[in-house]
Structure 1
């Protein structure tokens, strides 16, 4: 467990900058930065950018000097590295390109207001997990499942559209009726896709899939439902660092909920996921994510477990 700093080589604002990271946790990194008097605005997802004049003081405070390559290697190994494609400056461009590919027969004049509204929804300030990074992760997981041979029949585009709309309405309010966000998201999909002139059966399938994300419990013969459900739950099967980041983001989504109430509600959700048999409904999802997901979920309920503590 260490805070690392690489040589100051990155030019900006008339000086050069180092990267300051932790190879253990963001909590460790933020605590070190606060002690050093580094403002939070210098944080960029997985590191702080610090000017060269701060370098000696940070080393004196305990930052370990490493090469740029070593810093990246240890950051990746920790699971805290954010891919370049998930950084805010690139997300909108990548997501817009993906959305446009779903509607090649529509003009930019038709597509642009729709994707702008969707991106604005996914960028709302109260979102920390249910944000654009989650949207991109779900879309990528859908692509992965399809490449691995999972079959949605004729509904490939409907599954991807459902991914776009499945959290388009997200209040994060436990006082709302269960499934209300998903219902509102489905109604939004029906309205928007109807205005775009998509076929009624495809609109109906997209809305059905959005509603399905309330339970993640597709019928055994529901192939498109299985793909979307598994893609949405892919995060559970990631490595420990990514899973810890996911937990922290979910807690921020519900920061208005008292700790005791959140802990009780979260424990119920985790237990229901562990009780699901199967948790992942596609053969690919089960093979790739089930084992890690069950370890992560079990460790979340029992944080002193041997597996969790040794990683």
Structure 2
């Protein structure tokens, strides 16, 4: 039995990543990750994604450095490999298990049954069939990006987390109206569960995601907006999937109109200087996000961003 790590060569979020696996059991892998303080959010079905700077300490802790080819071969022999064709379904199953747990873990004063029912109603909205990008996978991403920011010292309060849960709870492909509808939903659904001032903060934060332009002293708004925009710094392959999913949500819009509208959105994002409002977001995501957005603009318009 061994813990294996391959050479870091997968770019994302301003660094390169390696894979950490076990050739025997997920229990062994999770135990090693816990001991090495690899965060649970880094687990992806059959491996942990670990940044290049952590590889030496993982090797020192007992991980065996191997080639990518050998890691894959031993993972397959172990029976733990999740095939590419199976990964979407497995990720969906993992989200169905993880999101209710995340909701329940939010500190709350409501009785458990009421709180769980509220979370289930929210998740029903996030899994509506017309959603292609603004779905429960996006919700998971935003919550995980908030975890990243919080671990790096950003301000992530209960109101920020609840705003993440509500920020696209209403999604009909109507920019501005969707955020307003989501804010009103948060105000109504949280009326009996939060102090009035905290509920007002959740509502304010949800509305802020319409512009992604927090004030300079708005630490909570900066964290939420950065977590929502972190997808822009994904690997080029994942970014293209994101862009395609956004296009699918607007499949009722003729191509020329969509290209013009999408280009306007992207130009507005690039006009934010900086694009990310927290120091933590800027250091992790700024450069990669600008490259991805500029590349999409070229694809849309044929002209540099």
**TM-score under structure 1 length normalisation:** 0.68
Residue from 259, 267, 270 that aligns with 2:266: 270
Structure 1 distance, partners of 2:283, 2:116, is 38
**Secondary structure in structure 2 of the residue aligned to 1:289:** helix
Tell me which of 165, 179, 183 is aligned to 2:180.
183
- Post-superposition offset of 1:68: 9.5
**Contact between 1:167 and 1:182, CA under 8 Å: does it hold in 2?**
yes
Residue of structure 1 equivalent to 2:72: 69
Q: Could you say if the C-alpha distance between residues 145 and 85 of structure 1 is closer, same or farther in structure 2, counting changes exceeding 3 Å?
A: farther
For 1:221, which of 208, 217, 222 is the aligned residue? 217
Corresponding residue for 1:281?
277
Residue of 248, 255, 262 corresponding to 2:251: 255
Looking at structure 2, the residues matched to 229 and 164 of structure 1 have their Cα atoms a distance apart, in angstroms, of: 13
Q: Are the equivalent residues in 1 in contact too, given 2:226–2:276 (CA < 8 A)?
A: yes
For residues 223 and 73 of structure 2, the distance between their equivalents in structure 1, rounded to whole angstroms, comes to: 38
Give SS of 2:131's match. Answer: coil
- Within a 5 Å distance, the mapping from 1:118-133 to structure 2 comes to 118-133=122-137
Cα distance in 2, alignment partners of residues 303 and 247 from structure 1? 11
Structure 2 unmatched ranges of 5 or more: 1-68, 77-83
CA distance in 2, matches of 1:72, 1:275: 45
Does the 8 Å contact 1:86/1:133 carry over to 2? no
Instruction: Report the Cα offset of residue 106 of structure 1.
Output: 3.0
Aligned mates of 1:129, 1:304 — CA distance in 2? 19
Residue in 2 that maps onto 1:102? 106
Larger Rg: 1
Give the distance between the partners of 1:297 and 1:291, measured in 2 at CA.
10
Change in CA separation of 1:70 and 1:84 when aligned onto 2, cut-off 3 Å: farther
| Deviation of the 1:88 alpha carbon | 1.6
- Counterparts in 2 of 1:118 and 1:287: CA distance versus 1, 3 Å: same
**Alpha-carbon offset, residue 199 of structure 1:** 0.7
Q: CA deviation at 1:93?
A: 1.8
| Cα distance in 2 between the residues matched to 1:221 and 1:233 | 19
Give the Cα–Cα distance (whole angstroms) in 2 for the partners of residues 208 and 243 of structure 1: 29
Q: Secondary structure at the match of 2:191?
A: helix
Distance 1:105 1:236, change over 3 A: same
In structure 2, relative to structure 1, the CA distance for the partners of 1:264 and 1:119 (3 Å cut) is same
Q: Does 1:137 align with 2:138?
A: no
Q: Which residue of 2 aligns with 1:57?
A: none
Which blocks of at least 5 consecutive residues in structure 1 are unaligned?
Answer: 1-65, 74-79
Question: Alpha carbons of 1:157 and 1:81: their partners in 2 closer, same or farther (altered >3 Å)?
Answer: farther
| CA RMSD, 1 decimal | 2.8
Which SS does the other structure have where 1:129 is aligned? coil
